[in-house]
A and B are shown apart, each in its own frame.
Chain A
Amino acid sequence: MDIFLQQIINGLTLGSVYAVVALGYTMVYGIIQLINFAHGEVVMIGAMVAFSVITVLAGTALPPVLIVLTGILAAIPACMLVGYAMERIAYRPLRGAPRLAPLITAIGISIILQHVALLVWSRNPLAFPQIIPLASFEVGGAIVTGVQIAIILTSVLMMGGLTLMVYRTKLGIAMRATSQNPQVAGLMGIDIDRVIAFTFVVGAALGAVAGVMVGTYYGVAHYSMGSLLGMKAFSAAVLGGIGNLAGAMLGGILLGVVEALTAGYIGDLTNNVFGSNYQDVFAFLVLIAVLVFRPSGLLGERVGDRA
């Protein structure tokens, strides 16, 4: 029974991260029907930038919390810049093009970002400094670390903040209108270009924080860490219903929990034929199953007319 609880806790932690990253995918798809392949790389850059900042400051006498905060505050604008540049330079000119073109572009950007990161931060996995000493708690036989609590809390905060922004502010209404029907939104006086750029930027900011969380949780950062994470987060977004914010959050958490439970139990269930190294297969299988059997996802997709 304590594996179960432990895996639930691990799953919730992992799932929160998936959820935050999934929000980036789902917002962009909802508004311009593009799978932003490069979003995973944005998350990676967030982790890397934070890594650099934290590593540099770690030697100083500043309090650890402040150092980490500075790292996050450095990562966010860096990722926002990357997100904005992507949209402006590569995606905006292709807005009327058939789906294949922006998809290929996204792959290209993903490759570029990965290898720029490789150049800047080297090929080797980097040890992500975990400098804030946080207590662990024991709950019903399972261990919850402070990091896990921090991640879950941060994620909840960000998800809440985003929801507030999308449903209570003018900009949020503009985003929702543009994603439903860009032409009419434009006629109503909404600056579509700015709204779309904003969507990318917000997603990137969320991704930056997610990157820091992932780096801290696993203690490692690597130039290729974005691709698998991105795939899984995208699966989560689809699972919940693409374009649907609540769906992304639900999908992320669900995917995280189920993945953790699978990793925990799969050895026992299959008599050790399949071990936990098949964990990644599982995420892909979920993705495929959802797309084939219930393409609109659990909570229904929110994708507008693409003229």
Chain B
Amino acid sequence: MKHQGQVAGRGANIFAGPQAKWVGVALIALALAGLPFALAAAGTAWVRITNLAILFVFLSLGLNIVVGFAGLLDLGYIAFYAVGAYAYALLASPHFNLHLPFWVILPIGALVACVFGVLLGAPTLKLRGDYLAIVTLGFGEIVRIFLNNLSQPVNITNGPQGISRIDPFRIGTFSFSQTETLFGLVFSGPIKYYYLLLVLLLLAIVINLRLQHSRIGRAWEAVREDEIAARAMGIDTTRIKLLAFAMGASFGGVAGGMFAAIQGFISPESFVLVESVMVLSMVVLGGMGNVWGVVLGAVLLSFVPELLRYTVEPLQKSLFGRSVVEPEVIRMLLFGLALVLMMLYRPAGLLPSAVRKRELAKSE
């Protein structure tokens, strides 16, 4: 589709033709670049919330490989987040007095998570859908329980107290946790992390999209559609499934490392079952298998609860004089309701991939 709408004069009609796409991209890029400062005006907390949201997008993208591409229902995905976080925490904190730089630890974390992905995935290969879900759920819980208890006889994880004073990212003397002023703009720690996260997120999105439309991506689709037929066509389904687990896990591992550094403190409490459910919901509600849908789902499910908190609290206070229902409870209630309603009315998600929509439209 070449040069539609190019009438007289350059730039006469920027809303048609290929230029429009690039203008759109430029606008979005500008908005994203300026976002943290706008948010900071409302409070640094919002920048932190955004950073956490980006981490959840990361997680959702990783889980999307497992659930969305390969069709493997993983209910214990948060275990990989935990592994990455603890790998970082153990290698960059006073706990073992190791202080490796982040560009060394993040790949290590990804690798360790990868290995866990294969370990946790291997026993599940022959299981059918719901059993697979339960086993992965079990694994997630087992990892959490071990993290909670590996403080004796050798203190590896420091148990329920977690690990604190985790090193922030540092490049030479440039530390990501310190506030600096450049070009008249105040770059707080969270704002610095924001840009790094954004770059990594864009990389993650590109990687996902490229995987999806590749020979491997097709193999995942085949295995998801009909494993027996895929096998008969020469696809080593075992390797392909393990590859999905490994790749998905590595995303979780990287995100976990970043989480540890940004928050400075981790404990097993951050890696409970409800978090796995949350990430799965982001993938499902956003649109399984569709990278952009997943991004949308993660963004929505990360921000809406926070927005709720900031509106419902004052509303309750003004109506009832106090907080009748904690925002956390409202959040979870609405979340549960959203899950039920989505499955009833829009099971393929908000931005479904065409294939998934067809799958779910298939009625008996």
- Proximity bits, B348-364, A CB within 8 Å = 1, else 0: 00000000000110111
- Whether B337 contacts A100 by the Cβ 8 Å rule is no
Shortest Cβ gap from A115 to chain B (Å): 5
- Proximity bits, A28-48, B CB within 8 Å = 1, else 0: 000001110000000000000
- Whether A104 contacts B281 by the Cβ 8 Å rule is yes
- Whether B333 contacts A116 by the Cβ 8 Å rule is yes
CB within 8 Å of B: which of A90-111? 90, 93-105, 107-111
- Any B CB within 8 A of the CB of A62: no
Instruction: Known A104-B343, A112-B333; judge A280-B134 contact (CB<8 A).
Output: no
- Whether A284 contacts B343 by the Cβ 8 Å rule is no
Q: Count how many pairs of residues, one from A and one from B, have CB atoms less than 8 Å apart in the complex.
A: 130
- The binding surface of chain A is classed by DSSP as helix
- Whether B333 contacts A287 by the Cβ 8 Å rule is no
- Whether A288 contacts B138 by the Cβ 8 Å rule is yes
- Any B CB within 8 A of the CB of A278: yes
Which residues of the partner chain A approach B284 to less than 8 Å between Cβ atoms? 100, 104
- Whether A118 contacts B329 by the Cβ 8 Å rule is yes
The closest CB in chain B to the CB of A307 belongs to B364
Instruction: Known A288-B123, A292-B135; judge A108-B325 contact (CB<8 A).
Output: no
Which residues of the partner chain B approach A238 to less than 8 Å between Cβ atoms? 131, 134
Which residues of the partner chain B approach A105 to less than 8 Å between Cβ atoms? 339-340, 343-344
The closest CB in chain A to the CB of B274 belongs to A111
- Whether B344 contacts A291 by the Cβ 8 Å rule is no
- Any A CB within 8 A of the CB of B347: yes
CB within 8 Å of B: which of A256-283? 272-275, 277-278, 280-281
- Cross-chain contact of B146 among A90, A281, A291 (Cβ < 8 A): A281
- Any A CB within 8 A of the CB of B9: no
- Whether A108 contacts B130 by the Cβ 8 Å rule is no
Assembly CA distance A108 to B127 (angstroms): 23
- Any B CB within 8 A of the CB of A119: yes
Which residues of the partner chain B approach A307 to less than 8 Å between Cβ atoms? 364
- Cross-chain contact of A103 among B130, B135, B364 (Cβ < 8 A): B130
- Any A CB within 8 A of the CB of B100: no
- Any A CB within 8 A of the CB of B300: no
In the complex, how many residues of chain B place their beta carbon closer than 8 angstroms to a beta carbon of chain A? 47
Assembly CA distance A97 to B364 (angstroms): 8
Which residues of the partner chain A approach B325 to less than 8 Å between Cβ atoms? 119
- Any A CB within 8 A of the CB of B33: no
- Any A CB within 8 A of the CB of B169: no
Assembly CA distance A99 to B135 (angstroms): 16
Which residues of the partner chain A approach B337 to less than 8 Å between Cβ atoms? 108, 112
- Proximity bits, B315-343, A CB within 8 Å = 1, else 0: 00000000001000100110111111011
Assembly CA distance A227 to B272 (angstroms): 12
Assembly CA distance A234 to B137 (angstroms): 12
Assembly CA distance A107 to B340 (angstroms): 8
Which residues of the partner chain A approach B344 to less than 8 Å between Cβ atoms? 90, 93-94, 105
Which residues of the partner chain A approach B362 to less than 8 Å between Cβ atoms? 98
Assembly CA distance A291 to B133 (angstroms): 11
- Whether B142 contacts A284 by the Cβ 8 Å rule is yes
- Proximity bits, B181-218, A CB within 8 Å = 1, else 0: 00000000000000000000000000000000000000
- Any B CB within 8 A of the CB of A295: yes
Which residues of the partner chain A approach B277 to less than 8 Å between Cβ atoms? 107, 111
- Any A CB within 8 A of the CB of B153: yes
In the complex, how many residues of chain A place their beta carbon closer than 8 angstroms to a beta carbon of chain B? 48
The closest CB in chain A to the CB of B129 belongs to A99
Shortest Cβ gap from B344 to chain A (Å): 6
- Any B CB within 8 A of the CB of A285: yes
CB within 8 Å of A: which of B132-171? 133-135, 137-139, 141-142, 145-146, 148-149, 152-153
Assembly CA distance A272 to B151 (angstroms): 12
Shortest Cβ gap from B285 to chain A (Å): 9
- Whether A287 contacts B138 by the Cβ 8 Å rule is yes
- Cross-chain contact of A295 among B127, B129, B145, B364 (Cβ < 8 A): B127
Which residues of the partner chain B approach A295 to less than 8 Å between Cβ atoms? 126-127, 131
Which residues of the partner chain A approach B135 to less than 8 Å between Cβ atoms? 287-288, 291-292
- Proximity bits, A240-260, B CB within 8 Å = 1, else 0: 000000000000000000000
Which residues of the partner chain A approach B255 to less than 8 Å between Cβ atoms? none
- Any A CB within 8 A of the CB of B295: no
- Cross-chain contact of B149 among A103, A112, A119, A278 (Cβ < 8 A): A278
Shortest Cβ gap from B95 to chain A (Å): 20
The closest CB in chain B to the CB of A274 belongs to B149
Which residues of the partner chain B approach A119 to less than 8 Å between Cβ atoms? 325, 329
Assembly CA distance A91 to B337 (angstroms): 14
Which residues of the partner chain B approach A272 to less than 8 Å between Cβ atoms? 152-153
- Whether B138 contacts A284 by the Cβ 8 Å rule is yes
Which residues of the partner chain A approach B89 to less than 8 Å between Cβ atoms? none
- Any A CB within 8 A of the CB of B110: no
Instruction: Known A35-B130, A96-B363; judge A111-B329 contact (CB<8 A).
Output: no
- Any A CB within 8 A of the CB of B73: yes
Which residues of the partner chain A approach B359 to less than 8 Å between Cβ atoms? 98
- Whether B336 contacts A109 by the Cβ 8 Å rule is yes
Instruction: Known A96-B363, A280-B141, A281-B146; judge A111-B343 contact (CB<8 A).
Output: no
- Whether B340 contacts A96 by the Cβ 8 Å rule is no
The closest CB in chain A to the CB of B67 belongs to A100
- Whether A35 contacts B339 by the Cβ 8 Å rule is no
The closest CB in chain B to the CB of A93 belongs to B344
Pull 9 A–B residue pairs with CB atoms less than 8 Å apart, ordered by A: A90-B340, A99-B129, A101-B360, A104-B339, A105-B340, A105-B344, A231-B138, A273-B153, A274-B149
Known: A104-B281, A108-B343, A115-B336. 9 other contacts (CB 8 A): A97-B343, A97-B363, A103-B73, A104-B284, A108-B340, A111-B333, A231-B141, A277-B148, A280-B145
Closest 10 CB pairs of A and B: A108-B339, A111-B336, A96-B364, A112-B336, A284-B138, A108-B340, A99-B129, A105-B343, A292-B123, A108-B336
